[in-house]
Structure 1
Amino acid sequence: MLRTVPRRLLCGRGTSQAPFSARAWYQMLLKEGGSRKPSADSSGKFNILGPVGSLGRQDLVKLLEASVVHRDGVLVAITKPPGLPVIGKPGDVTLVSLLPDLSQKLGFSQDVQVIKAPGKESSGLVLLSDCPSTVQHFQEFYVRCRKRRHPAATYCAVTTRLPADSEGEIYTGLKLIYREDSELVVPVASPSRGSLQRKEVKNTLTRYKVLDSQDNCALVQLQPLTAFPYQLLVHLTLILSPVLGDHVYSSRVGTVLGEPFLLPAESTPPRTQVLDEALLRRLHLQQPHVHRLPLHLHLHQLLLPAASSSSSVLTAPLPPYFLQTLCLLGLSLPTKQTTQRHSKHLP
């Protein structure tokens, strides 16, 4: 069953400082096939499209080395660019495959391990440590957070439609299916007890809040209270507000005379996101170039266990392409945007 109900989100204080240059981070990301110049549109201004070609291993290591947002003893936090998977097949360029080189660059005596990271197409915070006991302590903390429905991660997303409610919860079953050698996530409105017990379906829950909106687009805060692949993307399609740059699940939201409706998930194949003409004009894009539009879903803040760091909440600044999109759409983060802080109720 899909449930979306209004809910007031609690906010608190506590953010870390980001010492690296976001502009340098994105300019490096936008190198085209080894070119030293970032991509630009016909007006000569930097656009929001991703690079045509992939960065090489050494460029990616340099990019990650420059993206440190926090370091405190054995704990280090970096911000990941969109499109870099955390794990993959042998021989694939992934975050994990780059960790030995990155560990050396950061001066660790042994390879760091991933504690927490966003999915492949998302950008945002990655927690790393070279201390196995620290890795275990943090991972157990995040498991306890999920069990107690305690939000530990806060994402920011740009959506191509404004949710009907300004804040609420999205609750539904999700399952993985396989179509043409690809893995897709589909909602299950009323999962049977057996499917849940066999773990074929998992009940999932996300809190959301609209932070700003303009002309039917929105900047949305998301707090997943469960963990499932692509949970946030699928949940946002269920409230007819797909994420900008979602080239897999946004096709499930159709329109008739400008009004959105939900298409059957299992029979709707992935495709490049189709944006309406008004939105394309605001973004200075043409539809044939939309396939290069990066996913506008960013792991913005993470809660830390008590006494594990000098900060209780870590923050990764929004990438420049994300900020440029906000500017083009007339959206902005609240001045004191922070995530929940539960220092008195940490699991």
Structure 2
Amino acid sequence: MNAITKVAKLPKAKEAIKKLSSPSLITKALNPAQFSDPPKLARYLEKRVLAHAPGRFVVIEKPYGISCVGQLQENGGVFENSVRDDRKTEKWAGTIKARSGEQVGVTITDGLKLLRKILKEPQLSFCTGLKRYLSGAIVLPCNEHDSNILKSCIRRMSSDIEPPFMYNALAITVGSPEKSSGLITGFATFRNVGKHKEYIFEERKVSKRAKSGKYAVEGHMSYRVLDTKNGVSLVDFSVDKFARHLPRLMLTHMLSPILGDRIYWRRLMEVDGAPELISAGSRVPEFTQWIPRVLPEKFAMNNKEIMTSLPIYCHVYNTIFEDVGGYEEQGLVAASEPPAHFMAALELLDLLPAYRKFKKQSSEKTTEDSTSETSKTSGDVIF
């Protein structure tokens, strides 16, 4: 009888040990690195310089949740203003809530002053980076000439309509696209929804008038699902641009919004026990938010907390800048590993084996490419 009792208790003991380890993993998955002041951020970035070509470029690892600039860039930045009509720009400004300085927090540009001294690059400047909700490698030019080369490269590559695209990323998504891989193309635009405006994605070719008038931004994405577990998936995707929330809109359109994307995940409702996309701005009180049953358990949260407390799990693992050196076959591939909170979420959701397999296959492909004289090695920095 005692022996039987002991055997019966073993599974409970293992479960207890498992539960003891979960809180620390959950805490890690929910808490990306944070920075309270520019010097702290600059010191962090100093330790994460991925490549440095003196006088030309510095490649650093941009943390999740940190803006590069924190405000609209003059004339719209690299792509200039996305709204052509100045009157519309002024009208729309009142419908978009600007972030306060407190909400923006410390930015990459705030840390540049100290970083210039640390790296002995007096002309180090911001040119182009990644959105606040993304982590990944960004390239900082050390002179105006190379800054213009980067901008020219980005404009050209963002207009490519076929893979390979400029940005390669991993995302943990809610649910999974219907197809395990594919290519999606369409456009995002800003439209009236009730008393405010929202980004809308349409999977069709944009009209010449809308494109030339900058009322719509066209984009392309290739993707493949690496694995699906616990109601979520690990998706590898490549896009030509991140403007107008394009990748987030595209994944949501495929019924697989990025985990933690509280804006677009809210468009996915539960209808007859399955997820269904509800048009933006629609009020459907009889439907509830689509939340995979296992998520609240995995994160030890209720449904409301799940929808409001998760970071956006999306990481750009490499960005390709072709012809950066200004010569044929020369370029730069800026690559970085996912941050600690992303890795913790993979482990928590049982997607870590899929990531390791992906990394191994990518490494093997890199080795194969390095043996070819005509191929650039993915992950190498070439100037």
TM value normalised by structure 1? 0.75
Equivalent of 1:336 in 339, 361, 374: 361
- The structure-2 alpha-carbon separation of the partners of 1:336 and 1:189, relative to structure 1 and needing over 3 Å to count, comes to closer
Equivalents in 2 of 1:311, 1:267: separation in Å?
Answer: 46
- The structure-2 alpha-carbon separation of the partners of 1:252 and 1:62, relative to structure 1 and needing over 3 Å to count, comes to same
1:278 paired with 2:294, answer yes
- The structure-2 alpha-carbon separation of the partners of 1:206 and 1:51, relative to structure 1 and needing over 3 Å to count, comes to closer
Q: Of the two structures, which has the highest relative contact order with CA contacts closer than 8 Å and spacing of 6 or more?
A: 1
Q: For each residue in 1:266-309, what CA deviation from the matched residue of structure 2 results, as whole angstroms up to 9, or x when unmatched? A: 4479xxx8733312223344445433321111111012335749
Q: For each residue in 1:111-170, what CA deviation from the matched residue of structure 2 results, as whole angstroms up to 9, or x when unmatched? A: x22343211111111111212111211221222222333412101111111111111112
SS in 2 for 1:47: helix
2:215 is matched with which residue?
Answer: 200
SS in 1 for 2:151: helix
- What is the 5 A alignment of 1:185-196? 185-188=199-202, 191-196=206-211
Equivalents in 2 of 1:52, 1:96: separation in Å?
Answer: 18
Equivalents in 1 of 2:170, 2:347: separation in Å?
Answer: 15
- What is the 5 A alignment of 1:73-152? 73=54, 74-89=56-71, 93-110=106-123, 112-149=124-161, 150-152=164-166
SS in 2 for 1:244: coil
Q: For each residue in 1:227-262, what CA deviation from the matched residue of structure 2 results, as whole angstroms up to 9, or x when unmatched? A: 522111111000000101111111111122331111
2:75 is matched with which residue?
Answer: none
1:169 is matched with which residue?
Answer: 183
Q: For each residue in 1:90-109, what CA deviation from the matched residue of structure 2 results, as whole angstroms up to 9, or x when unmatched? A: 95532223222222232212
Equivalents in 2 of 1:312, 1:57: separation in Å?
Answer: 27
Equivalents in 1 of 2:195, 2:70: separation in Å?
Answer: 15
Q: For each residue in 1:57-83, what CA deviation from the matched residue of structure 2 results, as whole angstroms up to 9, or x when unmatched? A: 332222222222222332111111222
- The structure-2 alpha-carbon separation of the partners of 1:109 and 1:52, relative to structure 1 and needing over 3 Å to count, comes to closer
Which amino acid in 1 is paired with 2:245? Y
Which amino acid in 2 is paired with 1:100? K
> Counting helix residues as a fraction of each chain, which structure ranks higher?
2
Equivalents in 2 of 1:326, 1:224: separation in Å?
Answer: 22
Q: Sequence identity, in percent?
A: 22
- The structure-2 alpha-carbon separation of the partners of 1:63 and 1:176, relative to structure 1 and needing over 3 Å to count, comes to farther
* Residue ranges of structure 1 left out of the alignment (5+ in a row): 1-39
Equivalents in 1 of 2:168, 2:298: separation in Å?
Answer: 27
1:62 paired with 2:61, answer no
- The structure-2 alpha-carbon separation of the partners of 1:181 and 1:49, relative to structure 1 and needing over 3 Å to count, comes to farther
Equivalent of 2:334 in 309, 314, 328: 314
- The structure-2 alpha-carbon separation of the partners of 1:260 and 1:97, relative to structure 1 and needing over 3 Å to count, comes to same
Cα RMSD of the aligned pairs, angstroms, is 3.5
- The structure-2 alpha-carbon separation of the partners of 1:203 and 1:310, relative to structure 1 and needing over 3 Å to count, comes to closer
- The structure-2 alpha-carbon separation of the partners of 1:194 and 1:142, relative to structure 1 and needing over 3 Å to count, comes to closer
Contact 2:224-2:236 at 8 Å conserved across structures: yes
2:8 is matched with which residue?
Answer: none
* Residue ranges of structure 2 left out of the alignment (5+ in a row): 1-19, 72-99, 377-383
Contact 1:160-1:216 at 8 Å conserved across structures: yes
Equivalents in 1 of 2:108, 2:192: separation in Å?
Answer: 25
Measured after TM superposition, the shift of residue 55 of structure 1 is 2.4
- What is the 5 A alignment of 1:297-312? 297-306=314-323, 308=325, 312=332
1:327 paired with 2:361, answer no
Contact 2:298-2:349 at 8 Å conserved across structures: yes
SS in 2 for 1:243: coil
State how many pairs are aligned. 303
- The structure-2 alpha-carbon separation of the partners of 1:41 and 1:204, relative to structure 1 and needing over 3 Å to count, comes to same
1:293 paired with 2:275, answer no
Measured after TM superposition, the shift of residue 216 of structure 1 is 3.5
- The structure-2 alpha-carbon separation of the partners of 1:195 and 1:313, relative to structure 1 and needing over 3 Å to count, comes to closer
- The structure-2 alpha-carbon separation of the partners of 1:189 and 1:314, relative to structure 1 and needing over 3 Å to count, comes to closer
Which amino acid in 1 is paired with 2:261? D
Which amino acid in 1 is paired with 2:70? G
Equivalents in 1 of 2:373, 2:318: separation in Å?
Answer: 15
- The structure-2 alpha-carbon separation of the partners of 1:337 and 1:345, relative to structure 1 and needing over 3 Å to count, comes to closer
Which amino acid in 2 is paired with 1:276? P
Contact 2:269-2:290 at 8 Å conserved across structures: no
Contact 2:225-2:236 at 8 Å conserved across structures: yes
